[in-house]
Chain A
Amino acid sequence: MSAEFLWTVPVRGDGRRARHDEWNRGDWHPGLPTSPAWVRDDRRGRSDPFEHILSVVKAAEHSGFDGLLVPYDTEGEESIIVASVAARATRWVRTVVEFSPSVTTPVYAAKFTATLQRVARGRLDWKIAVELDEAAAASVGDHVVGTDRFERAGEFLTIARAVWREQGFDFDGRYYAVDSGGLGEPLNMHEFPRVVLDGASPDALSFGAEHADIQLLDAADDGALDASLAELQRLARTAGRQVRAGLALPVIAREDESEAIDRAARLLEERGSGRRADLADLRLAAGLSTGFDRLGFASPVGLLGSYEQVEAAIDAYQRRGLEVFVLDGFPHTEEAYRIGQLLLPRLAALAAAVA
Chain B
Amino acid sequence: MAVDIYWRIGMHGDQQSLRRPGNDRGDFALAGTPSITPGLRSGRDDEYRYVDHAAEVVRAAELSGFCGGLLPSFPFTEEPWTLSAALARETKTFRFMIAFQPGFLHPIQAARMSASLQRATGGRVVYNIISGGGGPAQLWWGDRVEHDDRYARTSEFLEVLKGAWRDKPFSYDGRFFQVEDAALPAPLAAQPSPEIYFSGSSPAAIDAAGRHADYYLSWLEPFESLREKFDSVRQACERIGRTPRFALRIDVMARKTEEAAWEEIRRGWEHLDPATLAQTAGQQSDSVGAARSRRLRPQATPEYRDLEVSPNVWSGFAHLRPGPAWGLVGSYEQVAERLDELMGLGADAFILAGNPHLEEAYRVGEEVLPLLRGRTSPSTNDNEAASTPPRQLTAV
Q: How far is the CA of A69 from the CA of B86 in the complex (A)?
A: 17
Q: How far is the CA of A183 from the CA of B89 in the complex (A)?
A: 28
**Distance from B165 Cβ to chain A, minimum over Cβ atoms (Å):** 13
When A and B form their complex, which 8 residue pairs have the shortest distance between CB atoms, in order from nearest? A84-B85, A179-B139, A103-B109, A78-B116, A88-B86, A115-B79, A141-B179, A108-B104
User: Are A139 and B181 in contact, with the CB atoms below 8 A?
Assistant: yes
User: Are A54 and B89 in contact, with the CB atoms below 8 A?
Assistant: yes
User: Are B109 and A140 in contact, with the CB atoms below 8 A?
Assistant: yes
User: Are B116 and A186 in contact, with the CB atoms below 8 A?
Assistant: no
A interface residues with partner B (beta carbon < 8 Å): 12-13, 27-28, 30, 47-50, 54, 74-78, 80-82, 84-85, 87-89, 102-108, 111-112, 114-116, 118-119, 121, 135, 138-143, 159, 171, 176-184, 186-187, 189
**Would you call B105 an interface residue if the criterion is a C-beta within 8 Å of the partner chain's C-beta atoms?**
yes
Chain A residues, Cβ within 8 Å of B119: 27, 47, 49-50, 77
**Distance from B284 Cβ to chain A, minimum over Cβ atoms (Å):** 12
**Would you call B152 an interface residue if the criterion is a C-beta within 8 Å of the partner chain's C-beta atoms?**
no
Known interface pairs A77-B116, A88-B86, A119-B86. Does A107 touch B142 (Cβ–Cβ under 8 Å)? Answer: yes
Chain A residues, Cβ within 8 Å of B107: 141
**Would you call B215 an interface residue if the criterion is a C-beta within 8 Å of the partner chain's C-beta atoms?**
no
Query: Closest residue to B28 on the A side, CB-wise?
Result: A186
Of the listed stretches B45-53, B239-247, B368-376, chain A binds: B45-53
Chain B residues, Cβ within 8 Å of A47: 119, 122
Chain A residues, Cβ within 8 Å of B349: none
User: Are B51 and A88 in contact, with the CB atoms below 8 A?
Assistant: yes
**Would you call B292 an interface residue if the criterion is a C-beta within 8 Å of the partner chain's C-beta atoms?**
no
**Distance from A43 Cβ to chain B, minimum over Cβ atoms (Å):** 13
User: Are A103 and B179 in contact, with the CB atoms below 8 A?
Assistant: no
Query: Closest residue to B90 on the A side, CB-wise?
Result: A88
Chain A residues, Cβ within 8 Å of B160: 141
Q: How far is the CA of A159 from the CA of B142 in the complex (A)?
A: 10
User: Are A115 and B182 in contact, with the CB atoms below 8 A?
Assistant: no
Chain B residues, Cβ within 8 Å of A89: 89
**Would you call B117 an interface residue if the criterion is a C-beta within 8 Å of the partner chain's C-beta atoms?**
yes
Q: How far is the CA of A54 from the CA of B104 in the complex (A)?
A: 28
Q: How far is the CA of A177 from the CA of B160 in the complex (A)?
A: 24
Q: How far is the CA of A50 from the CA of B12 in the complex (A)?
A: 28
Query: Closest residue to B140 on the A side, CB-wise?
Result: A181
Q: How far is the CA of A112 from the CA of B181 in the complex (A)?
A: 28
User: Are B142 and A105 in contact, with the CB atoms below 8 A?
Assistant: yes
User: Are A181 and B109 in contact, with the CB atoms below 8 A?
Assistant: no
Chain A residues, Cβ within 8 Å of B87: 88
Known interface pairs A49-B119, A104-B106, A119-B86. Does A81 touch B113 (Cβ–Cβ under 8 Å)? Answer: yes
Chain A residues, Cβ within 8 Å of B109: 78, 102-104, 140
Q: A107-B142, A115-B78 given. 6 additional CB < 8 A pairs? A: A28-B187, A78-B112, A85-B120, A105-B142, A111-B75, A140-B108
User: Are A141 and B86 in contact, with the CB atoms below 8 A?
Assistant: no
Q: How far is the CA of A74 from the CA of B111 in the complex (A)?
A: 11
**Would you call B332 an interface residue if the criterion is a C-beta within 8 Å of the partner chain's C-beta atoms?**
no
Chain B residues, Cβ within 8 Å of A30: 187
**Distance from A138 Cβ to chain B, minimum over Cβ atoms (Å):** 4
Known interface pairs A85-B85, A119-B82. Does A108 touch B141 (Cβ–Cβ under 8 Å)? Answer: yes
Query: Closest residue to A112 on the B side, CB-wise?
Result: B79
User: Are B142 and A177 in contact, with the CB atoms below 8 A?
Assistant: yes
Q: How far is the CA of A300 from the CA of B266 in the complex (A)?
A: 72
Chain B residues, Cβ within 8 Å of A87: 86
Q: How far is the CA of A163 from the CA of B76 in the complex (A)?
A: 12
Q: What are 16 A-B residue pairs whose CB atoms fall within 8 Å in the complex?
A: A50-B120, A78-B113, A80-B113, A81-B113, A104-B109, A105-B141, A115-B82, A118-B51, A135-B181, A139-B182, A143-B178, A178-B139, A179-B140, A181-B141, A186-B28, A187-B78
**Would you call B180 an interface residue if the criterion is a C-beta within 8 Å of the partner chain's C-beta atoms?**
yes
User: Are A139 and B180 in contact, with the CB atoms below 8 A?
Assistant: yes
Chain A residues, Cβ within 8 Å of B305: none
Chain A residues, Cβ within 8 Å of B179: 138-141
Q: Which of B119, B160, B179 has the most CB of A within 10 A?
A: B119
**Distance from B125 Cβ to chain A, minimum over Cβ atoms (Å):** 10
110-157 of chain B: CB within 8 A of chain A: 112-113, 115-117, 119-120, 122, 136, 139-144
User: Are B142 and A178 in contact, with the CB atoms below 8 A?
Assistant: yes
Q: How far is the CA of A47 from the CA of B118 in the complex (A)?
A: 11
User: Are B142 and A112 in contact, with the CB atoms below 8 A?
Assistant: no
Chain A residues, Cβ within 8 Å of B180: 138-139
Chain A residues, Cβ within 8 Å of B89: 50, 54, 85, 88-89
**Distance from A169 Cβ to chain B, minimum over Cβ atoms (Å):** 10
Contact partner of A118 among B78, B169, B177, B185, CB < 8 A? B78
**Distance from B100 Cβ to chain A, minimum over Cβ atoms (Å):** 9
Chain B residues, Cβ within 8 Å of A104: 104-106, 109
Query: Closest residue to B119 on the A side, CB-wise?
Result: A49
**Distance from A15 Cβ to chain B, minimum over Cβ atoms (Å):** 14
User: Are A81 and B106 in contact, with the CB atoms below 8 A?
Assistant: no
Q: How far is the CA of A27 from the CA of B185 in the complex (A)?
A: 12
Query: Closest residue to A46 on the B side, CB-wise?
Result: B122
Chain B residues, Cβ within 8 Å of A140: 106, 108-109, 179, 182
Q: How far is the CA of A135 from the CA of B142 in the complex (A)?
A: 28
Q: How far is the CA of A54 from the CA of B245 in the complex (A)?
A: 38
Contact partner of B181 among A84, A116, A138, CB < 8 A? A138
Chain A residues, Cβ within 8 Å of B116: 77-78, 81-82
Interface string of B161-200 (1 = CB under 8 A from A): 0000000010000000111111101011000000000000
User: Are A111 and B79 in contact, with the CB atoms below 8 A?
Assistant: yes
**Distance from B173 Cβ to chain A, minimum over Cβ atoms (Å):** 11
Chain B residues, Cβ within 8 Å of A183: 75
User: Are A103 and B188 in contact, with the CB atoms below 8 A?
Assistant: no
Chain B residues, Cβ within 8 Å of A80: 81-82, 85, 113
User: Are B76 and A75 in contact, with the CB atoms below 8 A?
Assistant: no
Query: Closest residue to B113 on the A side, CB-wise?
Result: A78
User: Are A48 and B122 in contact, with the CB atoms below 8 A?
Assistant: yes
Chain A residues, Cβ within 8 Å of B115: 78
Query: Closest residue to B111 on the A side, CB-wise?
Result: A78
**Would you call B27 an interface residue if the criterion is a C-beta within 8 Å of the partner chain's C-beta atoms?**
yes
Chain B residues, Cβ within 8 Å of A75: 185
Interface string of B69-112 (1 = CB under 8 A from A): 00000011011011101111100000000000001111111001
User: Are A121 and B47 in contact, with the CB atoms below 8 A?
Assistant: yes
User: Are B105 and A141 in contact, with the CB atoms below 8 A?
Assistant: no
Q: How far is the CA of A140 from the CA of B170 in the complex (A)?
A: 10
Q: How far is the CA of A159 from the CA of B140 in the complex (A)?
A: 12
**Distance from A233 Cβ to chain B, minimum over Cβ atoms (Å):** 34
User: Are B142 and A181 in contact, with the CB atoms below 8 A?
Assistant: yes
Chain B residues, Cβ within 8 Å of A178: 139-140, 142
